[in-house]
A and B are shown apart, each in its own frame.
Chain A
C-alpha cells in the first residue's frame, strides 16, 4: 500500500456540514477549519504494508496474513504520543454531536429508524450514496464515530500555575511508570497477604491459580495505545517481567482482575470453520460438496460415501487428467491424512489455472467436502495440517521500470 495524497472531496449538500471522513486525511489545522481539507501526512516508516481498516473490532483482510495475534493497533500511527494535543476537547465534543446529528439525518434519508441505526447500516448507506471505484479501502469515503477516527489525546498535564498534576510527570513517561508502580504495589500487597496467612498457618501451595490458557499478554503497541504514550522495547520487556513475577506468587489470584486487564483472549481458529451438514441422495448414500480455489483455478468436488475410491475429473479419469505424480499426490493427501483412502467416490470439475494450481484447488475442495464426514477433533487436526487454509499466493504484479516482478532490466555499464 502506498501512501498517497489523493484528495477525496465529497460534495454532498445535505451532509456537507457533517463529517464525512476519508480516513487518515487530517491536518494540524483540522480544529480550526472543521472542513474536509486534506493535507500531507507523515507515515511512520516502520508500519507494515497490509491494508487494514482502522477499527480494531472489525478486522477485514484484503490479503490473508499468518500473524498469530493481530490487531489494528499495529497499523495505525500512534498519534497520541506524537506531541501536544492537536484537537481540543471542545472540538472533539462538537465532532461527536455533529456525527450523531449526521447519523440521524442519514437514517432519515435512507428511510430507516434513527434510533436503531447501527454502524453497519451507516457503512452500507455511505457505500450506496457515494459509490467509489477506488480499490484501496482506506481511500473510500467513511463515516465513523470521532473516537474511532481521531486518536486518543492526552489532556493538558499541568494546571494554570504550571505545576503538573501527576507526581511522575517529570520522568517523561508518567503513565508507564505509574503502571509499574501500581503493579509492584500489588505484588507487595500479595506478599503481605501471604505472610499473614503463613502467620495464621493457613498457607497452602495449591491455592487457586489464574488461568492463562487461551490468552496472551498485551502487545507493545496495544500497551502504548492504552497508556497514550510511547514505550521503548526495553520498557515493555520490563513490564512483562514484572507481571510474570506477580504471577509467580502463589496467591496472585487476589489480583486476578488487575492482571486480566492486561491480557487479551486468543481467538479459537477452528470455531470459524463452517461445517455443512451431510446430504443424502435418493439411494440413501451420503454425499457432500466442497469447492476450493488456488491462484486462478477453481474446483468443485462431489464426495460420495461408500464408494470404491474412483475419481473422475471433468469426465475423465484422474490418471489421464493428471499424468504428473505430484498432482495425484496432492489429491491423495487429504484422504490419506484422515486414512479414508478407499472410502469415497469423487466427481470433480475444475477450470482455470495450470495443472499444479488445479490440483491445489481440488485438494482444498476435497478437504472442505470431507469436513461434514468428520468429527470435531479430526477437523482440528486437518486445520493444523494446513489442509483447510486457502493458499494466498498469487502472481506478483509486474512493476514499471523492471522486466518482471523482481527481475530488473539488464544492467549495462555504458
Chain B
C-alpha cells in the first residue's frame, strides 16, 4: 500500500494507484512554499514527512502533460469535484511532477485571497482605473522566488520597464532582478507581477533556452465572480479592476504556447456561491466559463474502496489511529459510514481518534 520510491515520480502509472509516495523534505520548501492545504501542512509537520497518495485525477493530468504537444496553444485543465475530495492535493501532485521535470511553475495558491480581505488598495500607477494590492503581490513574488530560484538568472528581459522617474529595469537584465525589485519596492509590486507574467508568456514557447511554463491556479473561480472589496465611495470593486486579476486572466487565456494551465475550482473560499455548488458551470459563472472554454475537465471523486483502504492503512502505519476499536473491521466500517469516503472528512475524523 505505501511508499514507493520518489525517484520514480515520472514513472508513476496505474499500478501505483492508491499507493503513497514520499516527497523529499528538501522539495517541500522549494516547491511548495505556499501551495498546500493548511491541514495537510499540519499533517506533514506531525508525521515528519510528506506522503501523497497517487490518485486517478492526478495520474490523468500527468499523462496529459506528458503527451501534450507544446507547439499548439496551451491546454487548460480544470479539476472539479465536491468539497474535500482532493482537488488541491491533485494539483500539488501535478505541480511537483512539473518541477521535477524542470518546468517553471507559476503556482497561485488561492485566487480567492486576491479578491477578498485586502487591507490596502492603491490606485494603480500604470492604469488609472485599476487597483493595486501591494501586500498580496509582494508575498506572492517572494514565494515565486523561492520556487524558481534557478530560472531567475537564466531568463532575460526583453523589454525595458520604467517604474518611476528614477527607476527602470533595462532590457537584458535577469528576471531575478525584477523580482527582487518587486519584493523590495512594495508599491509597484503588482505591476512587477504583471511584467513577470508578460515576460514568461512571451518566452515560454521560445526555442532558444526555452522552458515549459506551468500555470497552476487554485480557486480559479475567484477570478470571475464578485469581490468583497470596496472603493472609498463604498461602491464594489469588480475583479477586472484589480491589476493582479487582470494580468492573471491574460495568462489563463490560451493565446500563448509552450506550457499548460492547471486550475482547480474551489467552493470553500469562494464568495457568494452556494455551498452545494461544485460543477464548473455553477462556480465559474457565465463569463468565467466562456473565457475558460475550451478546457479539459478532470473530475475528482471521493476515495474508492482501494484508496480508502490505503489511506486507512497509512494512518494505522503511522499510529495515527490510537483508539483500539478503530483497528477492527467494525471500526473501519464506522469510519466509512461517517466520512462517506470523503478525504477531508476522513482526515478530520481520524484526527481525534
A318 touches B340 (CB 8 A): yes
Interface centre among B275, B276, B333, B339 (most CB of A within 10 A): B333
B337 touches A325 (CB 8 A): no
A325 touches B340 (CB 8 A): no
Q: B342 an interface residue at 8 Å Cβ cutoff? A: yes
Q: A320 an interface residue at 8 Å Cβ cutoff? A: yes
Closest to B348 in A: A325
| Contact residues in B for A335 (Cβ distance below 8 Å) | 337
Contacts A317-B340, A318-B340, A319-B339 hold; do A332 and B82 have CB atoms under 8 A apart? no
B337 touches A341 (CB 8 A): yes
| Contact residues in A for B275 (Cβ distance below 8 Å) | 320
Q: A329 an interface residue at 8 Å Cβ cutoff? A: yes
A333 CB, min distance to chain B CBs, angstroms: 10
Contacts A341-B337, A342-B336 hold; do A319 and B349 have CB atoms under 8 A apart? no
| Contact residues in A for B69 (Cβ distance below 8 Å) | none
| Contact residues in B for A325 (Cβ distance below 8 Å) | 338, 349
Query: A315-331 interface mask toward B, CB cutoff 8 Å, 1 = contact, 0 = none?
Result: 01111100001001100
| Contact residues in B for A181 (Cβ distance below 8 Å) | none
| Contact residues in B for A342 (Cβ distance below 8 Å) | 333, 336-337
B82 touches A320 (CB 8 A): yes
Closest to A310 in B: B340
Q: A307 an interface residue at 8 Å Cβ cutoff? A: no
Query: B77-99 interface mask toward A, CB cutoff 8 Å, 1 = contact, 0 = none?
Result: 00000110000000000000000
| Contact residues in A for B14 (Cβ distance below 8 Å) | none
A313 CB, min distance to chain B CBs, angstroms: 12
A339, B331: Cα distance in complex, Å: 11
A321 CB, min distance to chain B CBs, angstroms: 9
Query: B52-89 interface mask toward A, CB cutoff 8 Å, 1 = contact, 0 = none?
Result: 00000000000000000000000000000011000000
B57 CB, min distance to chain A CBs, angstroms: 19
A339, B342: Cα distance in complex, Å: 22
| Contact residues in B for A341 (Cβ distance below 8 Å) | 333-334, 336-337
How many CB-defined contacts (below 8 Å) exist between A and B?
37
8 A Cβ contacts from B227-270 to A: none
B340 touches A319 (CB 8 A): yes
Q: B23 an interface residue at 8 Å Cβ cutoff? A: no
B337 CB, min distance to chain A CBs, angstroms: 5
| Contact residues in A for B349 (Cβ distance below 8 Å) | 325
Q: A336 an interface residue at 8 Å Cβ cutoff? A: yes
**Choice from A310, A320, A332 contacting B338 with Cβ under 8 Å:** A332
- Chain A contact residues (Cβ within 8 angstroms of B): what range? 10 to 19
Q: A309 an interface residue at 8 Å Cβ cutoff? A: yes
| Contact residues in A for B333 (Cβ distance below 8 Å) | 336, 341-342
Interface centre among A319, A325, A329, A339 (most CB of B within 10 A): A319
Q: B2 an interface residue at 8 Å Cβ cutoff? A: no
| Contact residues in A for B345 (Cβ distance below 8 Å) | 319
A339, B334: Cα distance in complex, Å: 10
B338 CB, min distance to chain A CBs, angstroms: 5
A320, B340: Cα distance in complex, Å: 10
Query: B326-353 interface mask toward A, CB cutoff 8 Å, 1 = contact, 0 = none?
Result: 0000100110111110100100010000
Closest to B342 in A: A319
A320, B336: Cα distance in complex, Å: 15
B276 touches A316 (CB 8 A): yes
A336, B335: Cα distance in complex, Å: 11
Closest to A335 in B: B337
A336 touches B336 (CB 8 A): no
Closest to A319 in B: B340
8 A Cβ contacts from B99-119 to A: none
A319, B336: Cα distance in complex, Å: 11
Contacts A320-B276, A325-B349 hold; do A332 and B337 have CB atoms under 8 A apart? yes
A309 touches B336 (CB 8 A): yes
B276 touches A328 (CB 8 A): no
B325 CB, min distance to chain A CBs, angstroms: 11
B338 touches A309 (CB 8 A): no
B342 touches A309 (CB 8 A): no
| Contact residues in B for A311 (Cβ distance below 8 Å) | 340
Interface centre among B82, B334, B338, B345 (most CB of A within 10 A): B338
A341, B334: Cα distance in complex, Å: 8
Closest to B340 in A: A319
| Contact residues in B for A332 (Cβ distance below 8 Å) | 334, 337-338
Query: B264-303 interface mask toward A, CB cutoff 8 Å, 1 = contact, 0 = none?
Result: 0000000000011000000000000000000000000000
A146, B148: Cα distance in complex, Å: 99
A319, B342: Cα distance in complex, Å: 8
A335, B342: Cα distance in complex, Å: 20
A332 CB, min distance to chain B CBs, angstroms: 5
Query: A325-354 interface mask toward B, CB cutoff 8 Å, 1 = contact, 0 = none?
Result: 100110010011001011000000000000
The 9 closest A-B pairs by CB, nearest first: A341-B333, A319-B340, A332-B337, A328-B338, A319-B342, A341-B337, A319-B345, A342-B333, A309-B337
Q: Which residues of chain A have a CB within 8 Å of any CB of chain B?
A: 309-311, 316-320, 325, 328-329, 332, 335-336, 339, 341-342
A–B pairs, 7, beta carbons within 8 Å = A310-B340, A317-B82, A320-B275, A320-B276, A341-B333, A341-B334, A341-B336
- Known: A318-B340, A319-B339, A329-B338; 14 extra A-B contacts, CB below 8 A, are A311-B340, A319-B345, A320-B83, A325-B338, A325-B349, A328-B338, A332-B334, A335-B337, A336-B337, A341-B333, A341-B336, A341-B337, A342-B333, A342-B337
